[in-house]
Amino acid sequence: MKKSILFLLIFCSTLVYSQSEGTPDIIRGDESFTLMIKVVDSKTSQRIDDTEVYLYKTINDQYIETKSTVNGIASFEIDPFVEYEIRTCHVDYFRSGLSIYECNEGNEILCTYGGRNYIFVAGGGRDKPNAILKATLALSPVRVGSLYELENVYYDLDKETLRPEAKQELDELAAIMKRNESITIELSSHTDSRASNDYNDELSQARARSCYDYLINAGISSQRIIPKGYGKQRLLNNCVDGVECTETQHQKNRRTEFEILTYQPLSCQPSLDVDFAIKDLKNDSDDYQ
């Protein structure tokens, strides 16, 4: 079962029916309700206009409609008894999205996954809940010179071997680069502070090469990737040589990042693609049966 943000039972019982405890009928409602998506920049939290927001039915990936954000907002009228996928596209940002799905065996409660800052407000009674679900999607900007940490590309101590979760992250990077062939990147890998500079420089270069080789085998041209090891030059914390740190703190530094060297935006088209998807977003078909 996916991690989820419930259309909260406690929240609904106080806002839907102030004189009762709330029921599954009230939580889910009998009528359509409004889904309001706010799209913001993940770094500045500023609202993003002219973002295309796509609505799909999950059951058969059926495209429903597109709305473009105004003052960062796009709204849809949705059926509380239908599961949905929401996706975004803006030429200057990575694609994002969220899921709305059944998460209770009795079909009593809908859940969401992929956004943040959810607010569910309802009132008006059992037959017409007049419900509004507000969700925020934070988009990561795509710009030449931007540096991104690959979320799950970490390494064991003294190793350059890719973990299974690292391969999944690199598969997503490969998919993005296949969709937009103008993107070229520097893959930069890093070590923690332990051992000598020469050793760490060599180890980090081997880590970058492991990612490079994986992307080449995934079909990305070698001319689009520069692998570079930075040793322990770019630590993310104060775990410098001689400072006692936990293994978790050291692990944070044993990472791979990528910097965009060239990028030409593509025009937006309706798509279920998500760039660097939140890992539980529409990845378990059993949740949609």
pTM for this prediction: 0.78
Cβ contacts of 119-125, under 8 Å, gap ≥ 24: 120/7, 120/8, 120/11, 120/12, 120/15, 121/15, 122/12, 122/15, 122/16, 122/26, 122/29, 122/33, 123/15, 123/16, 125/17
Place of tokens 């770094």: 43
pLDDT of residue 286 exceeding 50:
no
* pLDDT at residue 220, rounded to an integer: 97
**15, burial (CB in 10 Å: exposed 0-12, middle 13-18, buried 19+):** middle
pLDDT exceeds 60 at position 5: no
Residue pair 219/178 in contact by the 8 Å Cβ criterion:
yes
33 confidence band (pLDDT: 50, 70, 90): confident
Query: Structural domains in the chain?
Result: 5-141+274-288 (2.60.40.10), 147-262 (3.30.1330.60)
* φ and ψ of 186, to 5 deg: -105, 125
Q: Are 187 and 174 in contact (CB under 8 A)?
A: no
CA separation for the pair 152, 171 (Å, rounded): 12
Q: What percent of the chain has a predicted confidence (pLDDT) above 70? A: 79
What would the pLDDT profile of 36-53 be if each residue is shown by its tens digit?
A: 999 999 989 999 999 999
pLDDT tens-place string over residues 186-211: 999 999 999 999 999 999 999 999 99
Total H helices, total E strands in the chain: 5, 14
Distance from C-alpha of 192 to C-alpha of 241, rounded to nearest angstrom: 9
- pLDDT on residue 129: 56
The per-residue pLDDT for 251 is 92
Average pLDDT over every residue of 251-255 = 93
Query: Cα separation of 251 and 257, whole Å?
Result: 14
Single-letter code of the amino acid located at 12: C
Q: Are strands 132-139 and 33-41 parallel, antiparallel or unpaired?
A: parallel
pLDDT digits (tens, 9 = 90+) for 85-138: 999 999 999 999 999 887 766 555 677 888 888 877 765 555 555 678 889 999
- Mean local confidence (pLDDT), 136-164: 91
- Given a cut of 50, whether residue 280 has pLDDT beyond it is no
Cβ-in-10-Å burial (0-12, 13-18, 19+) of 77 comes to exposed
* C-alpha span between 80 and 98 (Å, rounded): 15
User: Given the structure tokens 């200057």, which residue do they identify?
Assistant: 92
Question: Is residue 62 a contact partner of residue 83, using CB atoms and an 8 Å limit?
Answer: no
Contact 77, 174 (CB under 8 A): no
